[in-house]
């Protein structure tokens, strides 16, 4: 089973700043199967990025994903007030379980 770790656990930033979130896999994974989700309090998660770097429908271009092998990154170029949330990565490869990382909380500094 692939284990995902995310860092940092919490990222304290101001609106307008750049956010860089990390997701590391316990073994090399296909970048085709790496996704990022955003979850706001009291809401279900929302798909942001799939295939490591493709934005889901309706996702603003300030969100970008990159990486390969074991190291992946979600970048928010300029934080908007609505971007303060928890972000989870997920490996959704062919075999279950399709694990999630523990999450990174982006909060207002």
Partner 1 sequence: EVQLVQSGAEVKKPGESLKISCKGSGYSFTNYWIGWVRQMPGKGLDWMGIIYPGDSDTRYSPSFQGQVTISADKSISTAYLQWSSLKASDTAIYYCARHPDGGTPSPFDFWGQGTLVTVSS
Residue 1 makes contact with partner 1 by CB under 8 A: yes
Nearest to partner 1 of 81, 94 (CB atom): 94
Q: Closest distance between partner 1 and the C-beta of residue 27, in Å?
A: 16
DSSP string, the chain: ---EEEE-SEEEE-TTS-EEEEEEEEEEE-GGGEEEEEE-TTS--EEEEETTTEEPTT--TTEEEEEEEEEEEEEESS--GGG-SEEEEEE--SSS---B---EEEEE-
Residue 92 makes contact with partner 1 by CB under 8 A: yes
Q: Closest distance between partner 1 and the C-beta of residue 15, in Å?
A: 25
Both structure tokens of 61: 């271009």
Choose which of 19, 63, 101, 106 interacts with partner 1 (CB under 8 A): 101
Choose which of 14, 44, 61, 81 interacts with partner 1 (CB under 8 A): 44
Binding site for partner 1 (CB under 8 A): 1, 32-33, 35, 37, 44-47, 50, 56-57, 88, 90, 92-94, 96-103
């Amino acid at each position: 089973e692939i284990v995902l770790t995310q860092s940092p656990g919490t990222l304290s930033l101001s609106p307008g700043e750049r956010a860089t979130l990390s997701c590391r896999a316990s073994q090399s994974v296909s970048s085709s199967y790496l996704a990022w989700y955003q979850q706001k309090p009291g809401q279900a998660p929302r798909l942001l990025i799939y295939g490591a770097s493709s934005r889901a429908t309706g996702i603003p271009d300030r969100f970008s994903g990159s990486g390969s092998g074991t190291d992946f990154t979600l970048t928010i170029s300029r934080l908007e007030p609505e971007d303060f949330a928890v972000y989870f990565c997920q490996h959704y490869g062919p075999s279950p379980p399709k694990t999630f990382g523990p999450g990174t909380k982006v909060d207002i500094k």
